[in-house]
Amino acid sequence: MLTLSAFFCGLLFGLGLILGGMTNPAKVQAFLDLGGAWDPSLALVMGGAILVASGAFAVAKNRPRSLLGAPMQLPSARDLEPRLIGGSVLFGAGWGLAGFCPGPAIVTLGTGAPAAGLFVCAMLVGMLAFEGLDQFLKRARTPRPAAGVR
Amino acid sequence: MTIDWQHFTPWTSLAGGVLLGLSAAVFVLLNGRIAGISGVLGGLLQPRRGDVDWRVAFVAGMLLAPLAYGLFATLPVARMSTEATLLVGAGLLVGFGTRLGAGCTSGHGVCGISRLAPRSLVATLTFMVSGFLTVYLVRHVFA
């Protein structure tokens, strides 16, 4: 059931992105182009989505389990660390350069557009690079027990 | 700043947003999870037992969305760069950045703001400003 509902949510999410205009990189860039002919449409995509989702999150917050019995897994982090800001700066730059963020890139890959294929491959490499670096830093920070000590 | 009234699509964009919000709402109520695409993908790159199926299903649903949309309406025209260096550079930035910043437009922008998470509000403002600046530099300074 959880897999099925994930499938339909993914489908609905994709349909929303297409209808909203998010899968057209030129439109996304027109939204980000405050110095040119500005297309405010994407603000309405976000506004509409937040309006609808807010109620559901308010309900979800107070439930230990989902309606299908899965544990409620909402993020608990509260710190504004440098990596949150730094990561968002890098993401925003990439978003502005190509007009793709992760969701629309995946949906556009579904149309068979080669440009989306190339973008998604690079995006996955970028994600793997982060995992690699993150693991490396974590290991570097944890002191290893000295050899020979039992 | 001038508004491009010719390409402004308030109603379809609002309707698209409502569908996105509905998807995020149903997903958190049924699956108990955040519909954050960079997080869904990131989890697939570090697969853990019992945590793969729903991610694959969500991505499969997204990939099939254009096909499903095409059954009822004509897909909107999409114009994108075909310059390989730009696509690869941007893809690397988006992939690395969204994992480092723990979210993208969906996880921070839609879900995070909906649950009034201060971290997500800060992240969203940051990537929006970064996107505005990038497009400004590319189109109006270095053009």
Residue pLDDT, tens place only, B9-38: 999 999 999 999 999 999 999 999 999 999
Specify the pLDDT at position B57.
Answer: 98
HEC string of B37-104?
A: HHHHHHHHHCCCCCCCHHHHHHHHHHHHHHHHHHHHCCCCCCCCCCCHHHHHHHHHHHHHHHHHCCCC
Q: How confident is the model at residue A146 (pLDDT cuts 50, 70, 90)?
A: low
What are the chain B neighbours of A2 within 8 Å (beta carbons)? 30-31, 53-54
Contact B110, A53 (CB under 8 A): yes
Domain segments of chain A as ranges = 2-141
Is the ipTM higher than 0.90? The answer is: yes
Domain segments of chain B as ranges = 12-141
Tell me how close the Cα of B102 comes to any Cα of chain A, in angstroms: 7
Query: Token pair for residue A19?
Result: 């209808």
Average pLDDT of span A75-99:
94
Q: Which of B45, B100, B132 sits opposite A34 (nearest CB)?
A: B132
Specify the pLDDT at position A144.
Answer: 67
What are the chain A neighbours of B93 within 8 Å (beta carbons)? 90-91, 93-94, 97, 126
Q: Do B123 and A85 touch (CB under 8 A)?
A: yes
Mean pLDDT taken over chain A? 93
Q: What percent of chain B has pLDDT over 90?
A: 94
Comparing CA positions, the residue from A42, A101, A51, A14 lying closest to residue B18 is A51
Comparing CA positions, the residue from B111, B136, B19 lying closest to residue A11 is B19
What are the chain A neighbours of B23 within 8 Å (beta carbons)? 9-10, 12-13, 16
Residue A37's φ and ψ, nearest 5 degrees, are: -85, 105
A7-62 residue pLDDT tens: 999 999 999 999 999 999 999 999 999 999 999 999 999 999 999 999 999 999 99
